[in-house]
Each structure stands twice: as C-alpha cells, then as structure tokens.
Amino acid sequence: MAPPDRDRRPILCGEVRTSVLRTSEALTARTAAQLLNLRPDEHVLLSERPNLRVASPQLLTGVDCRLPSLNGSRPRAVGTVAARAVLTEGRVLQASAFARLVPGGGDHRKPWGHYLLRPGVVEPLGRHQDGEFTEGFLAAAPLPGGVLNPGAVAERLLDEVLRHRLLDQRAPFKSGRTRLRWVALPAAGDGVTSIERFTVAADGLRTVALRVAPADPSAVAALCEDLALHDWLLTTLVALVERSRLGSGDREAVLTALRPVVDHLLHLWMPGARVPDVLSGVWETLERRPGFSRQWQALVQRIRDQVALQTVSLPRPVLADS
C-alpha cells in the first residue's frame, strides 16, 4: 500500500535550457550582473571561484495546471514554479525552472496568498502517483498544453535574457540549444544520491532521473544546471569539431573553424565544481560511464595537437598559445 500523502517526501521536477550567449565577447562580471538583474528588489548572485558564474534572483510563475501522466489521469495542481537564469564565464547562458510537488494540498484550490508563501511548490489537488507523474513528465514527446511545464517557463526566460540590449547578437560560433528535463525522487534507505537515468531522445531532449539525499531543492536544481552545462559543452564541442572537418585535408580551414572553440569553450569544463558533497555521487557515476570528461579530454587533445602541428609547419603561428 502507498504511504499516506503526508509521509511522502516531495519529488522535484524541472528543466534546464542551455544556449550560448549571443555576444561577440564574453561578458565581464559587471555586465553579466546587469544582464541578470531581473528583479529590481533583489541582487544577482556572483561567484568567481573556481570560475565566473552569475545567477539572477529567483523568479516565480504561478501555475494552475494538470500533472502529466502516461495513463491520462492528469490530476490538477496549483502553485508556483521557481526559475532563474545563470551565466557561466560570461559565455554560456542557462534558464532553469523547477517545482517541488508537495502532496496534501487538499481537494480544492486555495487563495493565491497560500501558494505565494511557498515559492517553488506545486500542490496536487487530490491524489497522484509519483511513478505515473515521473513517467509522464519524462516522456520524450513535447508536454501537452495545460500540463505542468517548467521547460516552457525556462524557455521564456531564456528568450527574454537573450534579447537584452547589452547583447550584440553575434555569437562567435554556431551552436544549438539543449533541453534537459529532470526529476529527483527521494533516495530510499541510506539516502545516498544516485542517477537512475540519463537519456537523449530523438528530438534532442535529455531526460534525467535522480535519487537524492535530503538536500535543499535549489541545490538539486543547481546540480541539474551543472549537468546541463557540461552536456551542452560536450554536445557543442562535438558538433564544432565535426564541422571543422578535423582530419580532412585543409589544415588552415580546420584551424580557422576551431579558433572560436579554443577562445571561448575549452576553459569552461569544470564538472561538479559547485556541487555540494551530498549530491556529488551523480558526477562520480557519470564520469565512470559514459565518461563525460574522458570524451571531452580526448577532443581537446585532438584540437591541441592540430594547433601544435600547424604552429610547427607555419612560418608564423596562427593561434596564440592557449
């Protein structure tokens, strides 16, 4: 039998969208803070170690929606989705939105004041099954209209920031956006954090299912932002190396194509840098298999070898030492 609602630990769900910042030069800490100053009454968060990361204040979006499910039951839920924008090294922009599904919301919708006191909490009205929700939420297809959709909240935020007047809309290289949709269920028993699923669907959607030790919801969301950031970096690097036709004849063309990679991407790889210890098990698993860093390092080595070869064979270096 399922435990009574009040004994269930809430599950978290969210989505992260990651894009290059469309600007020819990476933003400094100061301009980044201006860009992400999305609420006049609150400050941006700025951290410079081990790399520059600026985060906007948290924004809330009220939702009165259905919970996704595969069997079509779709119970109603009311509350707020929390979102923020994060900029890493003035170059990679992410919008991240999440909600905590807290059972026991009763059968009827309460006044908004109730929900505003619980930022980032969505209360299902009536009963729902965590398993049903998880499967429905992580299903690869786009979520149907009217359903809880942190991705749509994140997308709006991302577009809004990307249109800011501070940006000249000239990115140094072509790259796509990635979407990473995630749920975090409470870890059973000893409460060790682990990753149960990391898949890439045909339409590019990444889905992640975590089991997490008791932790601050925003720390779990930050872990997912970190996963999404590195997944985007790897995806983008693979695509750029492929486009450069590394290994084909024309060395100089290859180097021209790789130059923005060297200038703007290679220094961004720092998996787990800000992930608290209770959640770090996730990165350890991913590093064992599929081995994100191994693939990244291998690509970086290939690029550096090309640069080195070229510098040797040309009268003057095409690329500065990097």
Partner 1 sequence: MLVFAASDKGGTGRSVTSSNVAYRRALAGDDVCYLDFDFGSPTAAAVFDVPGASRGVASAGLHSHLQGRHTEPHRIDVWAESEHDELRYRPTGSGRLVLLPGDRDGGEFAIGKDTVRRCVNLFLQLESEFDVVVVDLSAGRSYAVDMVLEATAQPELQGVLSRWLVFHRWTHQHVIAAHGLVFGERGIVAGGVERGHDKGALRDSIRFVRAAVPDPESPLWSHVPLAQSEWMRKCDRDLTELAAELELGYARLLGKIPLEPVLQWREQLITDEDVLASKVAGMATRQALEELAAALVDDEAWERQ
d(CA 219, CA 55): 13
Cβ proximity to partner 1, 168 vs 216, nearer residue: 168
Min dist CB 176 to partner 1, Å, is 5
CB 181 within 8 A of CB 208: yes
Q: Which of residues 183-222 bind partner 1 (CB under 8 A)?
A: 203
| Binding status of residue 176 toward partner 1 by CB under 8 A | yes
**According to the binding rule CB under 8 A, does residue 175 interact with partner 1?**
yes
Nearer to partner 1, 171 or 219 (CB): 171
**How far, in Å, CA of 82 to CA of 101, rounded?**
12
Region binding partner 1 by CB under 8 A among candidate stretches 51-59, 157-165, 221-229, 262-270:
157-165
Separation of CA 220 from chain center: 11
**249 is an interface residue for partner 1 by CB under 8 A:** no
The neighbouring-strand residues paired with 13 are 99, 183
Query: Which distant-in-sequence residues (6+ apart) come within 8 Å of 134 by Cβ?
Result: 11, 183, 185, 209
> Which one among 28, 169, 301, 322 touches partner 1, defined by CB under 8 A?
169
Residues 86, 18: Cα–Cα separation, whole Å? 9
74 or 128: CB nearest partner 1: 74
Phi, psi dihedral angles at 205 (to 5 degrees): -70, 130
Q: Which of 18, 19, 207, 306 binds partner 1 (CB under 8 A)?
A: 19
User: What is the smallest separation between the CB atom of 20 and partner 1, expressed in angstroms?
Assistant: 7
Bridge partner residues of 194 (DSSP): 211
Residue 174 interacts with partner 1 (CB under 8 A): yes or no = yes
- Inter-residue contact 299 to 242 (CB < 8 Å): no
CB of 202 to partner 1, least distance (A): 8
Rounded to 5 degrees, what are φ and ψ at 149? -140, 80
Structure tokens at 66: 């259905």
- Report residue 197: phi and psi, to 5°: -160, 140
What are the strands, taking DSSP E only, across 89-228? 92-101, 121-124, 178-186, 194-200, 206-212
Nearer to partner 1, 4 or 145 (CB): 145
Tell me how far apart the alpha carbons of residues 110 and 80 are, in angstroms, rounded to a whole number. 13
Binding part of the chain for partner 1, among 4-12, 43-51, 76-84, 146-154 by CB under 8 A, reads 146-154
Distance in Å, CB of 44 to partner 1, minimum: 22
Residues 20-49 that bind partner 1 (CB under 8 A): 20, 22
Q: Which of 75, 103, 81, 96 is nearest to 11 (CA)?
A: 103
Closest distance to partner 1 from the beta carbon of 22 (Å): 5
247 touching partner 1, by CB under 8 A: no
Residue 13 or 102 with smaller CB distance to partner 1: 13
CB of residue 145 to partner 1, shortest distance in Å: 7
HSE value, Cβ hemisphere, 13 Å, CA-based, for 129: 12
Interface characters, 98-137, with partner 1 (x: CB under 8 A): ----------------------------------------
| Minimum distance from residue 186 beta carbon to partner 1 (Å) | 29
Which amino acid type is present at position 103? Answer: P
Binding interface with partner 1 (CB under 8 A) = 19-20, 22, 142, 145, 149, 151-152, 155, 159, 162-163, 165, 168-171, 174-177, 203, 243, 245, 248
